[in-house]
Amino acid sequence: MFGLIGHSTSFESARQLARSLGFEDYAEGDLAMWCSAPPQLVERISLTSPTGKRIEGAYIDSVFVPEMLSRFKTAKRKVLNAMELAQKNGIDITALGGFTSIIFEDFKLLREQQVRATTLEWQRFTTGNTHTAWVICRQVEENAPRLGVDLRRARVAVVGATGDIGSAVCRWLSQRTGVAELLLVARRPQPLTDLQADLGGGRILSLEEALEEADVVVWVASLAQASTIDPQRLHRPCLMIDGGYPKNLDTRAAGEGIHVLKGGIVEFASDIGWQMMEAAEMANPQRQMFACFAEAMLLEFEGLHTNFSWGRNNITLEKMDLIGAASLRHGFRALGLESPAPIPSLTSA
Amino acid sequence: MPTLETTKSADSSLDPTGPVEGSDLPDFTTDAYKDAYSRINAIVIEGEQEAHDNYMSLGTLLPDQAEELARLARMEIKHMKGFTACGNNLGVVADMPFAQEFFSPLRNNFQAALTEGKVVTCLLIQALLIEAFAISAYHIYIPVADPFARRITEGVVKDEYTHLNYGQVWLKAHLEESRAELEQANRENLPHVRRMLDRVAADAAVLHMEKEDLIEDFLIAYQDALTDIGFTPREIARMAAAALIG
């Protein structure tokens, strides 16, 4: 059985979701109440791969909302309690979605393996970052040519280059895709220099410099700095893959010739018949989902009950090959630009 | 990969490099600590004493289970002695009149149900609510307890799970005929648990136990028990809301 740990994008949307799922009492509660509410297993899911293999899973809402980020203990407890609930339900492989894996990594929850009577078994969990990185690379490779961008001559900026997903994307784009030049952007200088050495190339730039030069921007960093984007100074055409969380680049960088694509989103071959992706504001919620969630499904399809994506900077090209092949085999495809290329003013929907 | 550094608020508790919960121990020797401990310790001692009495009483309603219930009751007395030793170890005199009054709403409801022969209500109050309350409090207490109390409390938690489990097993086997009474008893008694948590919050905070943690941990234990008994997540959320909204 596979599991997905997710959460709402805001407190208000969480209340609406609670109401629609029949948790009216929770919907009426204030944020303080939600801080004390336990995680909920809200939905059972089953899906069938084009290979004919059928798998069962469950969606767990951690009852975390981004408004709790400033409360370290609350955020930490939400993540650990949701993971405990997944394990207690006997789920073999669970993806940590949205802020869940970010909180797990940044708050160093590896130190907190004991949750009440449960010793968390890390092999039951995956960040899903390998599949996310593979999907983002695929989105670059498939969509840049559609805008007339030849990747062999293109400059690709990776914002958040030293992160788990960012560094994997850099490795893939330099070794497999053969982009002309990688522009490396991140906050801390030392990891950037290390990454550059590891890649054997790439140019370290500030965000502003990189955005001015890039034909393609892969955004896998926090958006706190994104308010500085000046759409007038972007290259045209410019493909922007919004692989961060939450996804709101389209509201910050809009304009003629700027094509923003939600990064790390996949579409399944058939309707799944679930409610949860409605809450994630997917364009086609019956088929679309975060690639990290799909990774848990893929590991279940493949019988790989292991923490496939775990820790930071452990994503190898071989692992991306493996999960990518499974993704194609089981009917997932990376979200692409609509055809013909959308009018930018309509892409914010 | 996004990080939280850029979304960090001014809240200084949001420090990923800070100490692991549990290494942040209170000063057990201060008057403020001992004062708060005199009430918390008394609640625990009284809770274990009442649990003993309640399991013995349940034995009169379920004569074929009397032996097992007497065994559980003996365990509670052992716990009571352990917690009494914790107070002595810190040189604290437990405020027993406070604790007796603290438990009176649940005790009165238990006694009323006992008189009417309502096994389901008695089990909900003792084997689900009070046990879940105790387990959550002990879980939150263990990381911030003094070394002596920590060792004792860790031993107690293992036993308490068997008590929660006893109520679960019986109610699961009798769910259909018990459902209405369980829901009614939940409505009447869960708000008392919420008020008890509110009353104890200030003293618990002195012991570095936070109310938010206590409520969530209690609800997880209670939710787990109700899930095992056979309620659906939506039914449980409705039942549990009484504890959250208060």
- Which ipTM did the prediction report? 0.85
Q: How confident is the model at residue A254 (pLDDT cuts 50, 70, 90)?
A: confident
Closest CB to A220: pick one of B1, B210, B237: B1
Count the residues in chain B. Answer: 246
Output the pLDDT for position B237: 87
Question: Where is pLDDT greater, at A246 or A181?
Answer: A181
Cα nearest neighbour of A106 on chain B: B16
For the packed helices A317-329 and A291-301, what is the interaxial angle rounded to 10 degrees?
A: 80
In chain B, what residues touch A25 (CB-CB under 8 Å)?
237-238, 241, 244-245
- CA dihedral A212→A216→A218→A224, nearest 10 degrees, is 30
Do residues A246 and A224 lie in contact, with contact meaning Cβ atoms separated by under 8 Å? no
Quote the mean pLDDT of chain A.
92
Cα-Cα-Cα-Cα dihedral sign, residues A340, A343, A344, A348: negative
Query: Has residue A348 got a pLDDT over 50?
Result: no
- CB contact under 8 Å between B245 and A29, yes or no, is yes
- CB contact under 8 Å between B11 and A33, yes or no, is no
Cα nearest neighbour of A75 on chain B: B14
Report the topology of domain A133-265: Rossmann fold (3.40.50)
Q: What is the DSSP string of A154-221?
A: -EEEEETTTSHHHHHHHHHIIIII--SEEEEE-S-HHHHHHHHHHHT--EE--HHHHHHH-SEEEE-S
Tokens of B123: 């089990």
Tokens of B37: 């401990």
Q: How confident is the model at residue A253 (pLDDT cuts 50, 70, 90)?
A: confident
Terminal CA-CA length for chain A: 34
Output the pLDDT for position A349: 37
Do residues B16 and A105 lie in contact, with contact meaning Cβ atoms separated by under 8 Å? no
Q: For testing the chain B interface, which of A42, A84, A106 should be mutated: the one with the most B CBs within 10 Å? A: A106
Strand partners, A238: A258
Q: Please state, in angstroms and rounded to a whole number, the distance separating the CA atoms of residues A38 and A44.
A: 18
Q: Mean pLDDT: which of A120-134, A251-265, A327-341 is highest? A: A120-134
- CB contact under 8 Å between A312 and B139, yes or no, is no
What does each C-alpha distance from B214 to A116, A291, B174, B208, B239 come to in angstroms? 12, 35, 30, 11, 18
Tens digit of each residue's pLDDT (9 = 90 or more) over A277-313: 777 778 899 999 999 999 999 999 999 999 999 998 9
Cis amide linkage into residue A50, ω under 30° from 0: no
Cα nearest neighbour of A21 on chain B: B234
A325: helix, strand or coil: helix
Query: Has residue A246 got a pLDDT over 80?
Result: no
pTM for the model? 0.90
Output the pLDDT for position A245: 77
Output the pLDDT for position A340: 54
- CB contact under 8 Å between B213 and A26, yes or no, is no
For chain A, the domains span: 2-126, 133-265
For the packed helices B131-141 and B175-206, what is the interaxial angle rounded to 10 degrees?
A: 30
Tens digit of each residue's pLDDT (9 = 90 or more) over B57-84: 999 999 999 999 999 999 999 999 999 9
Give CA A203 to chain center in angstroms.
25
- CB contact under 8 Å between B2 and A220, yes or no, is yes
Q: Report the percentage of chain A scoring pLDDT > 90.
A: 77
Q: Report the percentage of chain B scoring pLDDT > 90.
A: 80
Output the pLDDT for position A250: 81
Residue A163 near chain B (CB below 8 Å): yes
Give mean pLDDT, residues B137-148. 95
Closest CB to B13: pick one of A22, A72, A245: A72
Do residues A203 and A183 lie in contact, with contact meaning Cβ atoms separated by under 8 Å? yes
Q: Which residue in B114, B236, B96 sits closest to B179, CA to CA? A: B236
Q: Please state, in angstroms and rounded to a whole number, the distance separating the CA atoms of residues A73 and B86.
A: 27
Query: Has residue A127 got a pLDDT over 90?
Result: yes
Question: Where is pLDDT greater, at A286 or B165?
Answer: A286
Q: What is the DSSP string of A232-280?
A: GGS-SSEEEEE-SSS--GGGTS-STTEEEEETTEEEESS----SHHHHT
Query: Has residue B18 got a pLDDT over 80?
Result: no
Q: How confident is the model at residue B169 (pLDDT cuts 50, 70, 90)?
A: very high
Query: Has residue A45 got a pLDDT over 60?
Result: yes
What does each C-alpha distance from A185 to A12, A160, A162, A240 come to in angstroms? 33, 6, 8, 14
Closest CB to A112: pick one of B1, B20, B217: B20
Q: For testing the chain A interface, which of B1, B13, B198 should be mutated: the one with the most A CBs within 10 Å? A: B1
Tens digit of each residue's pLDDT (9 = 90 or more) over B177-219: 999 999 999 999 999 999 999 999 999 999 999 999 999 999 9
What does each C-alpha distance from A54 to A188, A265, A298 come to in angstroms? 44, 22, 11
Q: What is the residue whose two structure tokens read 């969530």?
A: B216
Output the pLDDT for position A343: 46
Tens digit of each residue's pLDDT (9 = 90 or more) over B1-10: 444 444 433 3
Closest CB to B15: pick one of A69, A72, A165: A72
Residue A88 near chain B (CB below 8 Å): yes
Tokens of A119: 């010793």
Least confident of A161-165, A185-189, A345-349: A345-349
Quote the mean pLDDT of chain B.
89
- CB contact under 8 Å between B1 and A117, yes or no, is no
Q: Which residue in B224, B77, B107, B84 sits closest to A117, CA to CA? A: B224
With a CB-CB cutoff of 8 Å, which residues 236-255 of chain A face chain B? 244-245
Cis amide linkage into residue A231, ω under 30° from 0: no
Q: Which residue in B134, B187, B183 sits closest to B158, CA to CA? A: B134
Contacts of B99 (CB under 8 A, 6+ apart): B39, B42, B43, B45, B46, B47
Query: Has residue B20 got a pLDDT over 50?
Result: no
- CB contact under 8 Å between B6 and A71, yes or no, is no
Q: How confident is the model at residue A275 (pLDDT cuts 50, 70, 90)?
A: confident
Output the pLDDT for position A251: 79
Tens digit of each residue's pLDDT (9 = 90 or more) over B29-54: 999 999 999 999 999 999 999 999 99
